[in-house]
Structure 1
Amino acid sequence: MTVLVRDLRPEVPADAEGFVLVRQLAVPFMVTTPRSAVHALTHAHPDAGFRQLLAEQGGEIIGTAQVGVAHDSPTPGLGFANVYVHPGRTGRGAGSLLVRTAEEYLATRGVTKVFTWVLDEPHNHAFAERRGYEARRSAHFLRLDLAKGELPPLQSPPAGVELRTAADYADDPRPMFELDAEVTSDEPSDVGAEFTDYEAWLEETWMHPLLNRELTTVAVVDGRPAAFSVAHTDDAGRYGTAMTGTARAFRGRGLAKLAKNDSLHRARAAGFTEAFTGNDTGNEPMLAINNWFGYEICATEVRCVHELT
C-alpha cells in the first residue's frame, strides 16, 4: 500500500492520538500527550510556519514530523524537521517521504539550513547521511526512577532565598518570562533563541497543557526569580524537566540544584513514578547535577544539519 503524507488535523482526535503513539514508541523518553500535540500546532507563532506531518499507510499513522522555521533565532534562514517512524513500520518509505516533504516546504519559507535530531544508532545515522545531513552536537536523554530511587535529602534554602512555585505567578507571569528568556539564550545549541515576544510566550509556554505550575519550583532572591526547574507532567505518572537554569547574576550558588530537588520531591509525593530530562553532552555542570539526583542516561541523540540547495 502507498504511503501518504498529510498534515495533522487538530480537530480529529485520532490524528493527535496516532501522532503521540508513534512518538512514544520511537522516543519513549519524551513526555507528550494528544492535547499537548494539538496545543503545539494551534498555538505556534505565525512566523514559525509550524506543521505536524503524518505518514499514513492503509489508514494507520506510521510516521510523524515536526517542521518549522527557527523564527526566534537571530540568524535567518534556519529551520527544523524532526522525523520519527513507528519502530515496527520502518523500511516502507515513510521517513524518506516525510523528510522530502519537510524540506520542500521549508525551502518555500526561505530556510537554507535544516536541523534535525537523530537517535544515536547506526541505521539512523545512515538514514541521515544518505540525505545529506551532517552530524554536529549530541545530547542525552536521562531517566530517574521516582518510585524506587532515592533522592538527595531536601535542603533548606540559604538566607535570603525563598522557594516558591510557578503557580504563585499566575496573576503576573512576566517575571517567569524574563527568567526563561535569559536562561534559554544561554542554553547550548546550534540554533540560538531570543525570547522577546511576551504574548507569544504566554500562548506557547505558560499555557502549555503539560506545564505543571504547582510542581515548577522557583528560587527567589530579593523578590526576583533567580532560578527555576520547570515541570511537565502527563496523566500516566510521568514527569519531565522542561528547563532548569539560573539567571546570570545568581549562578554558582546552587540555586538550580535546590529548585530541582524541591520539585522532584514534590513530584514523587504527588504520585509521579518516572522522571525524564535531557542534557547537551557538553553541559557538564547540569549532567553532574542530574547524576547527583540519580538520573541515568537512557539514550543519546545527535543534532544533524543539511544545507538546502
Structure 2
Amino acid sequence: MTVIVRDLRPDVRADAEGFSDTRRLALPYMLSTPESVVHTLTHAHPDAHFGQLVAEEDGEIIGTAQISVAHESPEPGQGSANIYVRPGHTGRGAGTLLLRTAEERLGRLGVTKLFTWVLDEPDNRAFAERHGFRASRSAWFLRLDLAGGTLPPRQDPPAGVELRTAADFADDPRPVFELDAEASSDEPSDIDVDLTDYEAWIEETWKQPLLDRDLTTIAVVDGRLAAFSAAYTDGGSRYATAMTGTARAFRGRGLAKLAKNDSLHRARAAGYTEAFTGNDTGNEPMIAINKWFGYETCAKEIRYVRELG
C-alpha cells in the first residue's frame, strides 16, 4: 500500500468530505464541515499562500495538512503546518510525508520559523520532537454538555448595555471587524496578529460557513460594540466558541461573560447538545469563566516550533 500526498481539490466533494472527516476524527474538539474546508481554501488571503494537503492511501484520505504563511504578523518568515492523521492509520508514513511536503513549500516561500499544534499524546509529541520541533506554549480544549448540563442563569444586562447578535450588523459589519481586530491583537499567541484588512476579514471570517451570526452575541454599551462571543455551529448538534473578547476600554466589567452566557443559552434553545471552546493554559481569567459555565477540560494541545533551513 502506497501513501501519496497531493493538494485538496475544492471542486471534488469527496475530497472535502474526506478532509473534514479526517480532521473531525483526529481532532474531535474542533468543528469541521466539507463546506468550511472548501471556503477556507478558496477565500484565504493570497499573501497567506494557504494550502490544504491530503495523504491518500488506496484512494482513501487518511491524513491532512493545513499550511500557511503568517502574513498578518509584523514579524516576517513565520508559517504554520498543522497535520492530522486518521486514527487507525498512523505509522504508515502519512504524517512524515505531509510534513516534508509542507516544509518544502513553505521554505520556498521564505518561511524560516515553522509552528504546529500537536495533541498532548506520547506518539504525537514523539513525532514532533523526532522531526526537530521543540515545545512552546500549550492550550486546553474544553467541552460542555449543553443537553444535560446546567448553565448559569441568564442575566439581565446592566443599564446602558444591550445584547445584540452579529446578524443585526449584516448591513454593515465593520464595527464587528474593529472589535474582533482589537480583541485578537491581545490574544495569547506565539505569532502576533495585526488585523487591518477589512475586505479579507469579510471573505475569511464573516462569510465562514461555520459562523452562526444568529448565535453570536455582541454586548453594546451606549451604542459602542464592547464585547462579543463568536459562535460556530456544524449544522448538526455541535456548537463551538470561536472567539470571545472585549474592547480594551470595557474590560473588567463582565461583558464577555454576559455575551457568552447569552450565546450558550440560545444555542441550547436551538437544539445544540455539545459546546466546545479552547483556552491558552496561562489564560487563567478565561479558564475560570469557562469553569463557571460548567466546561470541563477534555484534551491538551501543545504548540511546537522549529527553524527551517
1:70-101 CA deviation, whole Å, 9 max, x = no partner?
Answer: 00001100000000001110110000000000
Shift in Å, 1:142: 0.3
Q: 1:199 — aligned with what? A: 199
1:52: how far off? 0.3
Deviation at 1:222, TM superposition (A): 1.4
Task: Name the counterpart of 1:99.
Answer: 99
Structure 1 residue 23: deviation in Å? 0.6
Cα distance in 2 for partners of 1:67, 1:304 equals 14
Please identify runs of 4+ aligned residues in structure 1 that moved more than 6 A. Answer: none
Q: Secondary structure at 1:292's aligned position in 2? A: helix
After TM superposition, give the deviation of residue 249 of structure 1 in Å: 0.3
For 2:88, what is the secondary structure of its paired residue?
helix
Using the size of structure 2 for normalisation, the TM-score is 1.00
For 1:163 and 1:147, locate their aligned partners in 2 and report how far apart those are by CA, in whole Å: 24
Is residue 54 of structure 1 aligned with residue 54 of structure 2?
A: yes
1:60 and 1:124 map into 2 onto residues whose CA distance is 22
CA distance in 2, matches of 1:57, 1:165: 44
**RMSD over equivalenced CA pairs, Å:** 0.4
- Structure 2: distance between partners of 1:99 and 1:255: 41
Instruction: Map residues 203-282 of structure 1 onto 2, 5 A cutoff.
Output: 203-282=203-282
In the other structure, the counterpart of 1:292 is 292
How does 1:19-168 map onto structure 2 within 5 Å? Answer: 19-168=19-168
> Distance between the aligned counterparts of 1:175 and 1:282, measured in 2?
29
Query: Which amino acid letter does the alignment assign opposite residue 44 of structure 2?
Result: A
List runs of 5+ in structure 1 lacking aligned partners: none
Question: Which whole-Å CA distance do the structure 2 matches of 1:81 and 1:122 have between them?
Answer: 19
Aligned to 1:9: 9
Per the TM alignment, residue 2 of structure 1 is displaced from its structure 2 partner at its CA by 1.2
Q: Give the share of equivalent positions with the same residue, in percent.
A: 75
CA distance in 2, matches of 1:204, 1:253: 30
Query: Counterpart amino acid of 1:173?
Result: P
TM-score normalized with structure 1 length:
1.00
Determine helix, strand or coil for the equivalent of 1:232.
Answer: strand
State the number of aligned residues.
309
Superposition deviation, residue 225 in structure 1: 0.7
Partner of 2:308: 308
Distance in structure 1 (CA, Å) of the matches to 2:265 and 2:145: 12
Deviations for 1:113-157, whole angstroms, at most 9, x for unmatched residues?
000000001111110001000000000000000000000000000
Counterpart for residue 18 of structure 2: 18
**Superposed displacement of residue 236, structure 1:** 1.6
Counterpart-to-counterpart distance in 2, 1:124 and 1:210: 27
CA separation in 1, counterparts of 2:297 and 2:239? 16
Unaligned runs of at least 5 residues, structure 2: none
The one-letter amino acid of 1:112's match is T
Q: How far 1:235 sits from its partner (Å)?
A: 1.6
- Rounded to whole Å, the distance in 2 between the matches of 1:159 and 1:295 is 29
Q: How far apart in 1 are the matches of 2:66 and 2:171? A: 32
SS in 2 for 1:89: coil
